Amino acid sequence: MVVKVYGPAYASPKRVMVCLAEKGIEFETVTVDLIKGEHRNPEYLKLQPFGALPVIQDGDYTLYESRAIIRYYAEKYKSQGTDLLGKTIEERGVVEQWLEVEAHNFHPPIYDMTVHILFASKLGFPSDEKLIKESEEKLGKVLDIYEKRLSESKYLGGDFFSLADLSHLPFTQYLVGPMGKEYMIRDRKNVSRWWNEISNRPSWKKIMQF
Amino acid sequence: MVVKVYGPAYASPKRVMVCLAEKGIEFETVTVDLIKGEHRNPEYLKLQPFGALPVIQDGDYTLYESRAIIRYYAEKYKSQGTDLLGKTIEERGVVEQWLEVEAHNFHPPIYDMTVHILFASKLGFPSDEKLIKESEEKLGKVLDIYEKRLSESKYLGGDFFSLADLSHLPFTQYLVGPMGKEYMIRDRKNVSRWWNEISNRPSWKKIMQF
């Protein structure tokens, strides 16, 4: 049974897809066009009642929320492909900590920047320049803490690549690419080293093509 | 070794404390006064560089981010106290999904309401009435989806109490108590039933006293 991933053009589904690639799990994709409002179609809302991306279908098992899906596959296929959770419960705890930091500290400002720099005009509302500026300041402070962490540890969750790192890939790619803000990464030595390592993984190079 | 939980007066540390109570894990608390800015003290920032609550110390193991900490203890003591993760990896996947819904859909509006209704004057800034109104509308829409889910399933994650339900306790308690918005729960039959069940658990009755 091949896993179906909805919405491969967007960042959050790519979080799932790069996890599946790391685990060597075959998947196919189903297009959902946010610009056309397809995430508000009744058929889609039956799968994801909040109208958000992504959803996966794996046989008769349906799951949404990208960070729940990556935890599910990382655990279900623990010993297949890259181990993304750590060897011990204590290591997993630290991975979970940085996965939560990604969700609650890193994601909100980079998400607001993505929406207002890349998508506002396509979605038909004006960019909020004040919000963009404030978000960049917030993200900079988060990256300063990452810089310190990554001066002490090879990856965020420890000395191994994990879900905590993987979860940063899609939105950071927007930041360094179409948003034109690569300096936020390059101005910080250890963040820059970390970004080189995680963004050059074959899994991410493959998923970036979608 | 007794677990130390920092910041017991506040909602996010209570998320951890009610988990420890469900698992039968002994803990002690360390006061952190946000009004006095103690979360910005250098000693505290060594434990939690973002200046957020809570942190736990368990021997020489330190962990922050409440939802990471509850996952850690739920897994480490899987067979002690209440099982909060489900019996299978698929059940845990659904628990993780609703734990993420709590974090990304439920939490942002209820957090903004908490800050602006309960804490703004204490923290010395004006309440944003427009934000309160918009947040209540957003939270209402989220609770409408919960109402449907809870008409089909006893708890959010399935037919068993889990981290997904537990994670809602502290901020919903603010909503029905000091915020004076119990009607948001009581106007929805299944949400109301669910709230009665989870808020009457002995673990929560104990932790509410802190």
This complex has an ipTM of 0.97
Distance CA(B63)–CA(A100), nearest Å, equals: 11
Contact B63 A100 (CB under 8 A): no
Q: How close, in Å, is residue B149 to chain A by CA atoms?
A: 10
pLDDT score, position A1: 78
User: Hey, is the C-beta of A67 within 8 angstroms of any chain B C-beta?
Assistant: yes
Q: B71 to chain A: which residues are within 8 Å by CB? A: 93, 96
pLDDT score, position B123: 85
What would the mean pLDDT of A57-71 be, rounded to a whole number? Answer: 98
Here the tokens at position A97 are 């900590």
Instruction: Pick A64's closest partner by Cβ from B63, B97, B99.
Output: B97
Residue type, A8: P
B3-76: CATH topology: Glutaredoxin (3.40.30)
**What are the distances in angstroms from CA B122 to CA B11, B33, B36, B40, B41?**
16, 12, 10, 17, 19
Instruction: Pick B89's closest partner by Cβ from A75, A99, A148.
Output: A75
Residue A41 has pLDDT above 90, yes or no: yes
Which is it for strands B27-30 and B3-6: parallel, antiparallel or unpaired?
parallel
Contact B93 A61 (CB under 8 A): yes
pLDDT averaged over every residue in chain A: 97
What would the mean pLDDT of A120-147 be, rounded to a whole number? Answer: 96
Share of chain A above pLDDT 70, in %: 100
Q: How close, in Å, is residue A69 to chain B by CA atoms?
A: 7
* Chain B 141-170, residues with CB within 8 Å of chain A CB atoms: 142, 145, 148-149
pLDDT score, position B1: 78
Of A63-72, A94-103, B120-129, B170-179, the range with the lowest mean pLDDT is B120-129
Closest chain A residue by Cα to residue B48: A145
The more confidently predicted of residues A1 and B51 is: B51
A89-207: CATH topology: Glutathione S-transferase Yfyf (Class Pi); Chain A, domain 2 (1.20.1050)
Domain residue ranges in chain B: 3-76, 89-204
Q: What is the pLDDT of residues A153-184, one digit of tens each?
A: 999 999 999 999 999 999 999 999 999 999 99
What would the mean pLDDT of A102-130 be, rounded to a whole number? Answer: 95
User: Hey, is the C-beta of B187 within 8 angstroms of any chain A C-beta?
Assistant: no
User: Hey, is the C-beta of B68 within 8 angstroms of any chain A C-beta?
Assistant: yes
B160: confidence class by pLDDT, cuts 50, 70, 90:
very high
Residue A37 has pLDDT above 90, yes or no: yes
Residue B122 has pLDDT above 90, yes or no: no
Q: How close, in Å, is residue B38 to chain A by CA atoms?
A: 19
What would the mean pLDDT of A142-153 be, rounded to a whole number? Answer: 98
- Domain B89-204 classified CATH 3.40.50.300? no
Which is it for strands A3-6 and A55-58: parallel, antiparallel or unpaired?
antiparallel
The radius of gyration of chain B's CA atoms, rounded to the nearest angstrom, is: 17
pLDDT averaged over every residue in chain B: 97
Residue B204 has pLDDT above 90, yes or no: yes
B35: confidence class by pLDDT, cuts 50, 70, 90:
confident
Q: How close, in Å, is residue B57 to chain A by CA atoms?
A: 12
B167: confidence class by pLDDT, cuts 50, 70, 90:
very high
Neighbours of A68 (CB within 10 A): 23
